[in-house]
Amino acid sequence: MDVEESAIAVDGLRRRYGPSGSRGFDAVRGISFSVARGELFALLGTNGAGKTSTVELLEGLAAPTGGAVRVLGHDPYEERGKVRPRIGMMLQEGGLPPELTVAETARMWAGCTSGAMPVRESLGLVGLAGRADVRVKMLSGGERRRLDLSLALLGRPEVLFLDEPTTGLDAEGRRDTWELVRTLRDQGTTVLLTTHYLEEAEALADRLAIMHAGRIATSGRVADIVAARPSNLSFTLPDGVSADDLPPPAALGALERDSLGQAVRLRTRDLQHTATEVLLWARERRIGLEGLDARSASLEEAFLHIASTVDTAQGETP
């Protein structure tokens, strides 16, 4: 891992909760990844996978139990003073004083931020300039999320941590936030994003990692992660023809076959080849296939595959 070149470099990172010396709970179990300068990296995961526990270590809010983190070449916990002015954090829970107005909140935040941009400018970036005089308690959930984002942007950060930035936003708000995040990335900001929305990671991330039970189950570009998963071909056979009448999966270039009644699903790494073999077989026998559906693997499918291993993984000892 090239620590100098990376905006974020994580090596064998571990985080254990519980009194020191006790067995405790290992929330992060030795993960490694790096994020290049100007890259947008998404951390996805099942519930309780350890995303927030990891991001807090990257932000320098806690010390790791093991392994190392470097943000812009520095240890974010030990060298907080060097890292904090150059990063922006959008936390999961805003926790802002409810009685202050939007502008007062932003001014208060700007007072603690070195080199802060004008408050109006940061509110304008997230479409909240027109709500400057509204009290925080009167904002909708989505508006509060946008305020959290504008506060994270105040210091024009080189590295921006976005922990579930679009939770509670409607479709338009989500698109606007995506647009803003893309613009920031295009301007050179490094972004580390955690999200529960797979389409958000697909829309924004240059690379991503999927965490599960404290480990990185898979990582890479979306296309590479998806390519590692088999595609599906499904169809329904007519009455009188059973799945056992089909050639064996290997003869169709498929990995496996499931069937329920007349419904058949083939899993294959070569969708075109398997689909061709099935269609030729059906034509030779003059069999009509209902509901023929050829589908490449998706990020959702890759994610669900990882999530389905939950029970076995949680029983592992780190």
Nearer to ligand ATP, 56 or 158 (CB): 56
Least CB distance to ligand ATP at residue 113 (A)? 25
Least CB distance to ligand ATP at residue 208 (A)? 14
Binding residues for ligand ATP, rule: CB under 6 A, are 17, 25, 27, 45, 47-53
Residue at token pair 């909708």:
140
Nearer to ligand ATP, 125 or 213 (CB): 213
Rounded alpha-carbon distances, angstroms, from residue 152 to 34, 84, 112, 162, 278: 22, 11, 12, 9, 54
Nearer to ligand ATP, 17 or 228 (CB): 17
**Token pair of 283, please?**
């034509």
8 A C-beta contact, residue 77 and residue 63: yes
Cβ-in-10-Å burial (0-12, 13-18, 19+) of 97 comes to exposed
Pairing state of beta strands 87-90 and 66-71?
unpaired
- Cross-strand partners of 210: 44, 218
Q: Which residues of 249-281 are buried (b: 16+ CB within 10 A; e: fewer)?
A: eeebbbeebebeeeebbbbbeebeebbebbeeb
Quick one: which H or E segment has residue 43? strand 40-45
Nearer to ligand ATP, 49 or 278 (CB): 49
Least CB distance to ligand ATP at residue 242 (A)? 43
Least CB distance to ligand ATP at residue 308 (A)? 17
Q: What sign has the CA pseudo-torsion 87, 90, 91, 96?
A: positive
Terminal Cα distance for the chain, rounded: 23
Nearer to ligand ATP, 61 or 250 (CB): 61
Residue at token pair 């891992």:
1
Nearer to ligand ATP, 61 or 251 (CB): 61
Least CB distance to ligand ATP at residue 56 (A)? 8
E strand spans, 173-278: 190-194, 207-212, 215-220, 231-236, 254-260, 263-268
Nearer to ligand ATP, 53 or 232 (CB): 53
Least CB distance to ligand ATP at residue 54 (A)? 7
Least CB distance to ligand ATP at residue 211 (A)? 6
